[in-house]
Amino acid sequence: MTDQPAPPTVEDDLPEQMRVRREKRQRLVESGRSAYPGAVDLTHSLTEIREKYDAAELEADTRTGETVSVVGRVIHTRNTGKLCFVRLREGNGTELQAMLSLAEVGEESLADYKALVDIGDFIGVTGEVVTSRRGELSVQATSWEMVAKALRPLPNEHKPLSDEARVRQRYLDMVVNPASRDMVRTKAAVLKSLRSTLDSRGYVEVETPILQLTNGGAAARPFRTHLNAFDQPMLLRIALELDLKKAMIGGVDRVYEIGRTFRNEGLDSTHAAEFSMLEAYEAYGDLGTMKELVRDLVLDAARAVGRTTVTARDGSSIDLEQPWRSAGLLELVSEALGVAVDMDTPVDELVKLAEDREVDLQPGWNAGEILLELYEQLVEDTLIQPTFVEDYPESVRPLAKPHRSKPGLVEAFDLIVNGVELAPAYTELNDPVIQRERLVEQSLLAAKGDPEAMDLDESFLRAMEHGMPPAGGMGMGVDRLVMLLTGAGIRETILFPLLRPE
């Protein structure tokens, strides 16, 4: 035997509050009770009781005669000796008082509550619905039980969490911040509205693969992975487009998907590496069809959450129910430059115009790519009111159909609201010969090192060669729509956004 000290235990390194809470948990276990029972006696939610009884219509010290069993998180306790006032809260933020008195629960049970329960614990209470002497709606407990013991204390509701903590520990932010809980429900309402609008128009929701063999459907840098079963390099999808078009080719004339997409690019207030995207395609539709659909989707979602007028970042108001503007990309760029430009403007002249305005370009860009960069740097964030920016250069929208009357352009728009791209849409290219030519051009760019160029997807081209109907198609960033309707940044709209490791 030796006199060496025992190795430290986990409890030795714990903060005092956590150590005390663990001891209380252990006391529950040693007394034969569970700190985390598998079944809970629950007859009513706190909301249901609030909705059934209006304390303002009841006199103080009223007994309703109804016995209920409720569950909630303890957020406040006031001990007056023979009586404990306990404020319970459930997930939607509804609160209700429970009263534990010596006369009703007994000396041992009341002593146990005082000794074992902390702020943040979940408890169940059974008793009669009453009003207190001060007229507050309450449950007069005849018994209580531990439902889930919290081993870590909650943050102080009167001291805001740091921005970092709010995002990194979103669950705590939701506990103490009603706005954070509301955001979850707002996004759910938006998603429900989007589906309802599309379903009512006869669209069919499908699921398509997240793991892809090729990079297509958008200009973006993908995440790369490896499928061990096939010993095959794979990508996480950057868009939903190509598989949805295959479904349309197969006979699903109106098809949509709301799914997660992944782009291995920069992160900022409007960009996330993982985000929710809606894409929809309608056979025999075109750009006009998509304008109507996009407007209906946005307005229906805005009405669903009661926000048809939102505040822009410049402090002005955006009334989404007012008419939306349409403007050509070339016209907007010409206006910003003070010089008329079009697809026939020489590349060297466009380069000079960009240099004069300190717009950085990549070597070898063609006229369409330069014009798009000028638009994105000089115009896009100035478009506060809803604007359909139309008629993009062919080289920057390889999946869109050539314009019916404007050579060198395609039938495409981006909906810009509050300076942010919300919803791109096309009259979809359905000529497999032209589509192959454009994707070959994209694959050559990829071979030269362009990380955002699309791959040549033979599976998609083969499907197109069986005949793809004329169609309109659109995409919409769901998180960006929620941003527009709430005024929040993209990290606030995503429940658990990606963060650097601590």
Contacts of 197-204 with CB under 8 Å at 24 or more apart are: 197/296, 197/297, 197/300, 197/301, 198/254, 198/256, 198/280, 198/297, 201/254, 201/293, 202/254, 203/254, 203/255, 203/256, 203/280, 203/282, 204/252, 204/254, 204/255, 204/256
Whether pTM exceeds 0.75: yes
Closest by Cα among 486, 477, 487, 419 to 238: 477
Backbone angles phi, psi at 257, to 5 degrees: -145, 140
d(CA 498, CA 502): 12
d(CA 361, CA 138): 67
User: Which residues, in sequence order, are CB contacts of 322 under 8 Å at separation 6+?
Assistant: 385
Query: Is residue 114 within 8 Å of 83, Cβ to Cβ?
Result: no
d(CA 350, CA 370): 7
Is 160 part of any domain? no
**187 and 88 part of one domain:** no
Q: What is the DSSP letter of 333?
A: H
**139 and 42 part of one domain:** yes
**251 and 113 part of one domain:** no
Query: Is residue 88 within 8 Å of 46, Cβ to Cβ?
Result: yes
d(CA 476, CA 193): 13
* Angle between helix 458-465 and 432-447 (nearest 10): 170
Beta bridge partners of 79: 84
pLDDT recorded at residue 163: 85
pLDDT recorded at residue 1: 45
Is 74 part of any domain? yes
User: Which is it for the CA torsion 79, 84, 88, 94, positive or negative?
Assistant: negative
**106 and 250 part of one domain:** no
**Domain range for residue 44?**
10-148
Q: Judging by DSSP bridges, how do beta strands 325-328 and 387-393 pair with one another?
A: parallel
The number of domains in the chain is 2
pLDDT recorded at residue 3: 55
Is 276 part of any domain? yes
pLDDT recorded at residue 448: 81
**312 and 412 part of one domain:** yes
Residue 185: both structure tokens together: 């429900």
Backbone angles phi, psi at 345, to 5 degrees: -65, 130
* Angle between helix 178-200 and 478-486 (nearest 10): 120
d(CA 268, CA 163): 15
**124 and 200 part of one domain:** no
Is 228 part of any domain? yes
**208 and 78 part of one domain:** no
**115 and 257 part of one domain:** no
Is 204 part of any domain? yes
Cα separation values, 219 from 243, 304, 357, 417, 443, Å: 16, 32, 25, 21, 12
Q: Which residues are annotated as a binding site for Mg(2+)?
A: 414, 421
Beta bridge partners of 128: 67, 140
Tokens 């006031």 correspond to 78
Number of alpha carbons in the 13 Å side-chain half-sphere of residue 141: 26
CATH number at residue 434: 3.30.930.10
pLDDT recorded at residue 267: 83
- Final residue of a domain: which of 87, 113, 148? 148
User: Which is it for the CA torsion 228, 234, 235, 240, positive or negative?
Assistant: negative
**443 and 391 part of one domain:** yes
Is 442 part of any domain? yes
Residue 239: both structure tokens together: 């868009």
What is the greatest pairwise CA distance in the chain?
95
d(CA 187, CA 181): 10
**255 and 200 part of one domain:** yes
Is 219 part of any domain? yes
pLDDT, one tens digit per residue, over 366-380 is 999 999 999 999 999
Tokens 């349409």 correspond to 326
Cα separation values, 463 from 193, 247, 308, Å: 32, 10, 41
Is 374 part of any domain? no
CATH number at residue 33: 2.40.50.140
**224 and 98 part of one domain:** no
Query: Is residue 97 within 8 Å of 88, Cβ to Cβ?
Result: yes
**138 and 215 part of one domain:** no
- Final residue of a domain: which of 148, 166, 187? 148
Low-confidence residues in the chain, pLDDT < 70: 1-13
Q: What is the DSSP letter of 56?
A: G
